[in-house]
Amino acid sequence: MRKLLLLSSGIAVATATMALANDDLISQMADPGQWAIQTGDYKNQRYSTLDQINADNVDDLQVAWTFSTGVLRGHEGSPLVIDDIMYVHTPFPNIVYALDLNDDGRIIWKYEPRQDPDVIPVMCCDTVNRGVAYADGKIFLHQADTKVVALNAKTGAVEWEVVNGDPSVGETNTATVLPVKDKVIVGISGGEFGVRGSVTAYHIADGTLAWRAYSMGPDSDILIDPENTTHLGEPVGENSGTNTWEGDQWMIGGGTTWGWYSADLEENLMYYGTGNPSTWNPGQRPGDNRWSMTIMARDIDTGVAKWFYQMTPHDEWDYDGINEMILTEQEVDGQSRKLLSHFDRNGLGYTLDRVTGELLVAEKYDPAVNWTTGVEMDPSNENYGRPYVVSEYSTEQNGEDVNSTGICPAALGSKDQQPAAYSPKTELMYIPTNHVCMDYEPFRVSYTAGQPYVGATLAMYPAPDSHGGMGNFIAWDNIEGEIKWSIPEQFSVWSGALATAGDVVFYGTLEGYLKAIHAETGEELYRFKTPSGIIGNVMTYTHDGKQYIGILSGIGGWAGIGLAAGLTNPNDGLGAVGGYAALSDYTALGGQLTVFKLPD
């Protein structure tokens, strides 16, 4: 491994000039009039310095124009805007449209991949896709069938394509990709099918493989240096990705990587989280199951890990750790530090030093969370960094085929993949959350490639003794680890937030409302009901000197899987169908982009 590190370092130096191939993307991200990456910027802050639309006039917003995608089911992610062209994506079959903003949204080109529909049953929780990416004159699409395609941004012509996985064994894709330096970094979905998670870097120029890092397995597979890759400041040691698994279970161990990615170019590190271990029945996989449920920091050039932090060792609840990592520079105890904040499915909001991996904050961001009393924060304690599990809400203690009830949060977490936003003006994080609990009954399951490998039956319902709804939109102080204010919602907030310099924060609701609230107080300033439930992410851009707000609506995703797939059995959708049955009283399927502006 040390020889590998020396060789990789030499390669990184030799290719330093080539690695700056993304100057175009960096300049586009720096221009607030563009929306050049799904997360707003490499820091995943989802913050815009535009302030033409602000707290004083946002209630004057009106619909500027709309666009039908021609596809139903769940519309996650958002459009991109690059140089007066808007790029719009859809769920399966993953159509991409290029729209001319100078010509009433005329379709410049349309790319429609020919995918085998057999991939649809292998997709866990709807046929969603979280959007395309841009770099070096190319639009990157990671299809449901795992094919990564680079399209000419002007013409839509295919410049290269590469297959990243195998749907026949359960490998699919729902995520966007991260173009950074001379690479495009992609993940994999399929934890419910016994897939072994990985991230893979391809060269932007031609799609050739640069590196691949697995979530678990031998050191050479997960790209670590046992003495220099750390966990909470200590070397992980040899065989860390196999020695907390029984036998060779790590080979079907989950830890998939279908979330969001961020990057710090100064540190040359990229950050992401890994998902649940397979199976959902914890009794079948004793041990901490490293490195599932883990925040990972990796060298962009080589993929070699600098540090890990495992949030939920031996996960018993399907609390995937894939949610976004938001990067900030803030003062902690009088010292400016580079921070990483993460709102995990397990209901805990974490703040870490993103250079060293030091754990600074781990607090509940939903008061209903009951599976843990909290995380041990004393570095001298042998349990440092581990959550203390409340035995009543363990799904393993009573054995298989025993129902554990009243667990909060449910498997879809206090927040799923729907990304939060951060405002440097208020220094607050704005988090779309789920306020949902569950009953969880594990059962023994056998692994068969390409078949579901779940091993649990779930039921979901609103958190008891609360406001009666299934969601909140909250403002969070990531330094103090506390909620500043909270807006109750009838259903989970499954839309990505947007914060702006105009002191406005936007988000969407499952009933279909786009809402604007005051960034300081949470006061609602505006709402508009779009044609279908919103699970997309709010974005903003300018054209001809005017600011616009855009949002995709189209009910689906895990929360809306009952509507999206026509399911009625309450236990279907891994328990979500019953929990969100009332959604059908408020919305129906759709697939539409709605764009807003102030009156002329």
List the catalytic residues.
318
Whole-number Å distance between alpha carbons of 551 and 35: 12
Residue 135 and residue 122 in contact, taking contact as beta carbons nearer than 8 Å: no
How distant is the alpha carbon of residue 345 from its chain centre? Answer: 11
Residue 189 and residue 173 in contact, taking contact as beta carbons nearer than 8 Å: yes
The CA angle 223-194-221, to the nearest 5 degrees, is 10
Whole-number Å distance between alpha carbons of 540 and 47: 9
Tell me the torsion sign for CA atoms 490, 492, 497, 501: positive
Kind of pairing between the strands at 359-364 and 513-518: unpaired
DSSP state of 395: S
Whole-number Å distance between alpha carbons of 144 and 472: 30
Type of residue numbered 2: R
The CA angle 174-178-181, to the nearest 5 degrees, is 160
Nearest to 558 by CA among 450, 415, 443: 415
Nearest to 580 by CA among 533, 544, 547: 533
Nearest to 529 by CA among 553, 550, 547, 546: 553
Q: Provide, for the chain, the percentages of residues in helix, strand and coil under a 3-state DSSP scheme, each rounded to the nearest 5.
A: 10, 35, 50
* Residue recorded with tokens 């690695």: 19
Q: Give the number of other Cβ atoms within 10 Å of residue 386's Cβ.
A: 18
Whole-number Å distance between alpha carbons of 105 and 431: 32
Whole-number Å distance between alpha carbons of 71 and 93: 8
| Cα-based distances in Å from 103 to 5, 69, 84, 106, 255 | 51, 18, 10, 6, 45
Torsion angle of alpha carbons 225, 231, 235, 237, nearest 10°? -70
Q: Which residues contact 25 (CB under 8 A, 6 or more apart)?
A: 36, 37, 134, 135, 136, 179
Residue 101 and residue 85 in contact, taking contact as beta carbons nearer than 8 Å: yes
Nearest to 395 by CA among 315, 321, 453, 322: 315
